Every structure is written in structure tokens, then in C-alpha cells.
Structure 1
Amino acid sequence: MSVKRNDPCPCGSGQKYKKCCQAKVTYIGEMHTDKLWNLYDELIMFYNHLIEETKSFFSKEVNEEIPDLIVEQHVIAQFFYETNDPRGRRTMLKEYIEEQCKTVPMVPSVRQIFKNWAHVSPMLLKLEEAKGNDVYEAIDYFSTEPFSVKIVEREVPPLEDGVLYFGNMLSFGDTLVSFAFDLMLPLEPSEPMLRVLEEMMDQVNTYSANVYMKNNYEAVVSLIFAEMDGIVGNEELEWEDEAHENVAELYIAACKYFFAGADADGSLGASLWHSFCETYHPNVRKPEKYAAGLHYFINSIYLEPTTAPTRRNSLNFMRRVPQVFRKYRGH
């Protein structure tokens, strides 16, 4: 999809494309693209180092093995999206890029694109057309803004069935590339999840879906994981332990009575609990206390801070996932 210079800018600014985002699009030659891929590979190495450090830290602090996918999403959130200055402008990724710019020789066009990686954003794209060389034309699912995206080492399903592509997108000039983690989702079965996500965004009145996903990255990813596991919806769940099922039933009853929000019918929380039980096999003696902990957990993640419970909101998602049902069972 091409945008002409005098067309309205697809970012929604109201300006013409030539006076808005066209100036941000940088075209680079093949040799300079190779340099960007080298920088990308070095960033992957640094990311993998952070993964190993985080695993080591939590194995000592939590004294429990944490699933790799949870560690990875925690590191992405902390490295890409958590700011570490009072004005909320500096991330670990930005600091990394600044250090690399000081020590690694780059031509100006490569340097500019590399610096723009500090503005990485999670995006949900609908793939439209294959262009060859693993490049696809796509539109942002929420804004309908057009993009080209290169999908690396991934088998893409037939596009006529409707395919969504989620990732943390870096710019390679006129093409996006997902960093470290991406997901492919069928469009039609994902519609219940998308409605939940849109409901979550409406609750905080965000002006941009990408800004919301950046600020609530781990909650969004957990919702997408739930969709991939067949969690969102009315599918029947099979329970190995009656006590586990009792927790889910109590939680659903509480949601229907008290809670009119993203999980009004209780299906999301019940199914996340199902996945937790399959992984950790908790010994549940008092289902009502686990159900209370589950209710607190879902509220604290999926509601905006002004309406969510305040107790332990400062705890990050990484620490809550493996311990939540023990930590809050007395809630």
C-alpha cells in the first residue's frame, strides 16, 4: 500500500503525508540494511543476556523455576517499555542505543534508524498481501494505517483466512521487523479476544491502541496467550482436580455478581487459572481464598489504576504470576 505525498497522513494527524510521516521514512541501500541486521543481532544477544540474568535472579529470589515465556515477556516489558527516569522518557533500550551510538561506527542514515528503535512499539497487524522476500503489506488492526512488515523465520498461514501478526516492531526504514517475540493469530477465532482488548482500552480512554499496548504490555500478551490456548470464549475446560474447578466456579460467580468489566463473565480469569493449574498443580484446600486471590489478580492487571484494587499494585506481573495464588490466598 502506497501513500501519495498529498494524501492525508495515515497516522491520523490531519496533515498531508509529505508534511508529516513521510519525513520520518528513511530509505537505505542493501549494504546499510546489512549493518542494521548486524545491530539487530547484537541487540538480540544483549536481550538473551538479560533473559539469563533474569532467570538467575528469580530462581534465587522466588526459589522456583519460572516458565520461559513469562520471563521473556517480563524482560521485554522492562527493557523496552518501562521508563527509569522521573519524566518517563528513558528506557533501558534507549540507554543501550545511546551507548552503541558512541562506540559503533554508523553512517548517518543507519544511525537515524537505529536511534528510532528506542520508539519500538507493540503492534497488532492484519496481513493483507505477500510482496516476496518475506515482506507483507499489512494494516494496523486498530488504526488501519498501512505498513510493510518483514516476517523472519515464520510460516505464514494463507492470508485469505485472515491473519493477525503481533510483535514489538522495529523500523528498518520503510519496513517493520518484529524483535525477539512475535505471534501469528487467525482473525475470526480471535474476535472475542479483540473485543475484550478494545473494552480494556475503552476503560482508560486511551487515544492510541499502540500506546495502550506499550503501557500494559504484559496484560495484553497474557490476553493473547489466553486466546492462543483457546481460553477466551465459552469453550468447556477439563479439570484434573475438583478443587481447581471449584475455584473457577466461585470466581465466575463473583465476576457476574460484582464485576462489570473486561472479564464480566469470568471466562478469562477462569481459563488463566486453568492454565496455571496445568502448569503448577496447586494443592487447594480452601477454594474461596484462591478465588479471592484470582479476582484480585485479574482486577489489578486489567483495570486502570483508579478502579483497580490498590493492594500490592506495585508488584510487577513477573512476580505475581508464579506466586499469586499463594500470596493472595488470605485476601
Structure 2
Amino acid sequence: MSTSVKKGNCGPRVPVDDAGESRAADGAGQPPPAAPRRRRPAEPAGNPRRSRTLWLVFLVAAAAIGWSLHGTGVDVASLAAGWEGAREIAVGLFPPDMDGDLLRSVGDAVIETLQISLAALFFGTVMGLLLAVLMAGNIGAPAWLASSARLIATVFRSVPELLWALVFVAMIGLGPAAGVYAISLHAAGLLAKLVSEQLEAVDPAPVEAMRLTGASRKATGVLAVIPQARNNIASLVLYQWECNIRSSAIVGFVGAGGIGQSLGISMRLFRYQELATLMIALLLLVIGVDQISRLLRRRMGAATR
């Protein structure tokens, strides 16, 4: 039996026999070719909806900034009007007072400021880490306990150190102890928020692996969550130490000890040369603490110069 190829008006060629019957594509013949794939339409170069959103955000931000500048009275004219007073203060700062008795009192104030910052760092870190562990979602603390810890941390950091210092000065009197308690509470609230976010940002794979093995919540947090975030936590604690130095200078204005108390006295008595000496001492103290922090972070593997 001979076969021929029959051409149709449309579709592929199909082999047929003399009787006009087509062969089945069951192995002897070839299956019909697959239908061509449809090409996806080319995506537009820019998303109009996204562009409109960006422009809207930009306009809202610009309006908010303009409203804030107008409401606070910030302009070049106000700076120019106060330039004369700023020049008098700047001239009065030089040369700094280098009297021997003053330098000894400044040294004592610097030591007291350092003691306040370290004591506040200790109490603030202990309280802050405890609150952070309770707040972190991947640790798995009970909901009521996590909510309570979050509320306490919010209260601690919402109240400024200066207001906490006024409260403790009224409670226990003037002195560095009031400054330690005031800075500790604010530092605890701030560290609780930042450390809890670092704990929640760790790689979830090791955490889930430990939970699948049947590990308890405490073991999972100690062995899988905290080790991943320990370097970042250490960096936050060291930065908080630097913040405590600056905060101790602020709370000293209300009698909470440290170099801030001497700064307040010098400013109220218009002793600008003495004020310059105190400012230099505070600057050197902050630079020293920053260098120590960088050294410790480098020891922990941070890429610092």
C-alpha cells in the first residue's frame, strides 16, 4: 500500500494511505508540533503608580519640613540677629583657664562623670537585656509578659534623662547617685528596644532547627538566637556607654553630679574661660571612650579603622 502526503488548508502535513486514512501518531508517525509560546508583553520602563507614590511622599515631606520651619521660627535672619552674642561668647572662651586648682577640680569632675557612666551602663544593660529577651518575638515569652516588658521599656525611654534626674534628686537629694539612676532607666528602655530588634533580625533557620529537635524556649534563645546577635548587642552596649557620658553632662545641670554640674555653675556665673576648660575635658573624655569602644569592637571582629 502506498502512502502520500495530503496538504490541508491549515495545520501540519499528515501522512495518509491510498484510502485517504491518516496514520495514527503512535510511534510510526510524528506527533504534531507544539503550539508556539505567546510572547509576554514588554514591561514599561517606569511604573507610573510607583512614581506617583514617590512624588506624593516627597511633597508631604517637603510640606512637613516647611510647616516645622515656619512654626519654630528658624530662618537666616534669626541667626544673623544672634551673631553678636555668639561672637562675645566665643571670644570669652579663649584662652581656656589652666589654673592648677581648676584643673584638679576638673579632673575630679571627669572621674565622677566616668563613674556615673559606667555604673549607669551596668544597671541599664542588665535591665535592658532582660526586657529585650522578654520582648523579642522569636524567644517565645508568654504574651502577657512580653507586653508588660514592652510597656515598661516604652515608659523608661519616653521620659528624658533630665526629667528622671529631677525625680531622683527630689527623692534622694543632690549627688551622682541621682544621675546614675536617671541615666540607667533611660538606657534600659533604649537598649531593650534596640536589642530586641537585633534578636528578632537573626537568621531563623538555626532557630527553627533547634525547635524541631525538641529544644526548650530557653535553650533555643541561649544557643540559637543570642549567639547570632551578640556582636551587634555588644556594639550597642558600647555606644550606650558613650551616650551615658553625654547624658551625665546634661543631668549635672540639675545637681546630679559629674562634669555637668560644673558646667552649669560656670555658665550661670559667666566664667567662659573656665567653661572652655570644662568643655575641652568633656571632649577628651568622649574621644577616649570612643577609641576604647572601637578597640573592643575590633577585638570582636568588626572592620574598623
Larger Rg: 2
Which structure has the higher relative contact order (CA within 8 Å, separation 6+)? 2
TM > 0.5 fold call: no
TM-score interval, smaller chain = under 0.3
- What is the TM-score when the length of structure 1 is the normalising length? 0.22
- What is the TM-score when the length of structure 2 is the normalising length? 0.24
- Return the structure number with greater helix share: 2
